Structure 1
Amino acid sequence: MSEDLDARLIAALQQDGRASYSELAARVGAPRTAVSARVQALLDSGAVGIAAVAHPQLLGLTSLAHVSVAVSGPADDVVDALCATDASVFVSAVSGAYDLVAELRVASDRELYGALAHLRAQPRVRAVNTLLYTDVVTSVFMPQGPLRSDVHVNDTDLRLIELLERDGRMSFVELARRVGMSPSAVRARVSRLVGNRALHVAAVVRRGTGSGRPALGAGLNLGGDDERVTAFLAASPGVEFVARTVGRFDLVLTLGSDSTTRLHHVTEQIKALDEVRGLTTWAHLEVFKEHYSRGIARTSA
């Protein structure tokens, strides 16, 4: 029973990591006291963290890619190289034709090429396959859609973002104390940042901590228009990430669940869609890095 409640709470927190216990209780249909206890237990265990993620465009990151890496022999040195670079926000050992996958976010295609060249130069790297994101359809790890052109942030906004990157559920009272403003003013600023899609606060499942929550990556090859497929994926429980890509797949996605049985059920539903011509999956065996926050460079006005 607690595992089912945990799954529902994580899904709710991935949508809004700052939702109050009362709001969470209403969403998952459980008593507030039970919700408070389970959320605190998840946070204390390290299995789940709540963090703010600024829109990649706000950080100047306009080139995003999914990279699959085949390694000859042990992958430790390659993992270390991927984790050490600021370009990577996600690094995982996987099953299947490749040994590792990573997500890279950089400022330009030229910078991406440089990061890939550095990766290819690692002695044990046998092959690198890159999927360029053309757009992110849905994600629990970042704000949705393009950054609005009229969004502007000042030093106070940046300080609030940095604080929420460290603790996404930090109270408005504590945030106000840190930035020297009233709680009501801070609440308004955070609401504006979230409402303008400059910031997203969400639960991140720490799958490298032995949480036992399986995750599956998948690549889809499609025939015809992708709108029905992307709409289905965006509305499906457990779908954490979907991006349109250029490369060997038309879409790449991440599925998370509390059981492999549920993951199998979702993949069967996806394969049943008329537009899906092929589905390739890989299991995430161990996550070495999952850090979507990145410092924002301050520029003088």
Structure 2
Amino acid sequence: MAVDEIDRRLVELLGEDGRRTFTEMATMIGVSEATVRARVHRLTADGTMRIVALCNPLTLGHQSVRLLLTVRALTPRAVAGSLLDLPSVGRVELVSGSHDIYLEATARDLSQLTDLLDELRRTPGVATIDQYVLTRLYKDYSWSGLRNPVGDRSAGSGGGP
């Protein structure tokens, strides 16, 4: 999916405030409201962008943890698929390197975090779990992959999201 400077700007503006109106963004970018509406619809329909409300779990007194899992006996895809329905897990990604799966999870307290870790240990295929408990969140959801054409297929690099 090729994106251009208008798409990048829309993603940036919605990343700053997901409640911005199409009219406001059209004025800021210098295009019609219909253009903004169509572009936002396309970017969300094809999965390039998702508009969500975010919360810093640490401000609520919750535990936020990042987990790196190593898989044995099963494929990382199979194990990742089995983790999608865990209610405290908000992000599941396949990664390369010395680990196979990256998870982000939130628990209301240490007891719930222990329950999550026990559940992960019981998951077929999970061999090891490296845990990183967040102590302070400085920045989140700051992905800027569409801010410039570096790595963009439309820039002729063959890369992309």
| TM-score above 0.5, yes or no | yes
- Once the two structures are superposed, residues 105-133 of structure 1 have per-residue CA deviations (whole angstroms, 9 ceiling, x without a partner) of 01112211221122123231121111111
- Once the two structures are superposed, residues 145-175 of structure 1 have per-residue CA deviations (whole angstroms, 9 ceiling, x without a partner) of xxxxxxxxxxxxxxxxxxxxxxxxxxxxxxx
C-alpha displacement of 1:256: 4.2
- Counterpart of 1:69, as a letter, is L
Q: Judging changes above 3 Å, is the alpha-carbon distance between structure 1 residues 83 and 2 closer, same or farther for their aligned structure 2 residues?
A: closer
Q: Judging changes above 3 Å, is the alpha-carbon distance between structure 1 residues 115 and 53 closer, same or farther for their aligned structure 2 residues?
A: same
Q: Which residue of 1 aligns with 2:157?
A: none
Q: Which residue of 2 aligns with 1:14?
A: 15
Q: Does 1:30 align with 2:37?
A: no
- Counterpart of 1:70, as a letter, is T
Q: Judging changes above 3 Å, is the alpha-carbon distance between structure 1 residues 2 and 82 closer, same or farther for their aligned structure 2 residues?
A: closer
* 8 Å CA contact retained: 1:81, 1:119: no
Structure 2 Cα separation of the partners of residues 19 and 260 of structure 1: 24
* 8 Å CA contact retained: 1:64, 1:106: yes
TM-score (norm 1): 0.44
* 8 Å CA contact retained: 2:79, 2:125: yes
- Once the two structures are superposed, residues 161-202 of structure 1 have per-residue CA deviations (whole angstroms, 9 ceiling, x without a partner) of xxxxxxxxxxxxxxxxxxxxxxxxxxxxxxxxxxxxxxxxxx
Q: Which residue of 2 aligns with 1:267?
A: none
Structure 1 Cα separation of the partners of residues 149 and 119 of structure 2: 35
List gaps (5 residues or longer) in structure 1.
Answer: 141-239, 241-254, 264-284, 286-301
Q: Which residue of 1 aligns with 2:70?
A: 70
How much identity, in percent, do the aligned residues show?
A: 23
Secondary structure, aligned partner of 1:98: coil
C-alpha displacement of 1:92: 0.9
Q: Judging changes above 3 Å, is the alpha-carbon distance between structure 1 residues 93 and 54 closer, same or farther for their aligned structure 2 residues?
A: same
Higher strand share goes to which structure? 1
State the aligned residue count: 149
- Counterpart of 1:14, as a letter, is G
Q: Which residue of 2 aligns with 1:184?
A: none
* 8 Å CA contact retained: 1:25, 1:31: yes
TM-score (norm 2): 0.76
List gaps (5 residues or longer) in structure 2.
Answer: 153-160
Structure 1 Cα separation of the partners of residues 26 and 18 of structure 2: 14
Match of 1:257 among 140, 145, 153: 145
* 8 Å CA contact retained: 1:67, 1:130: yes
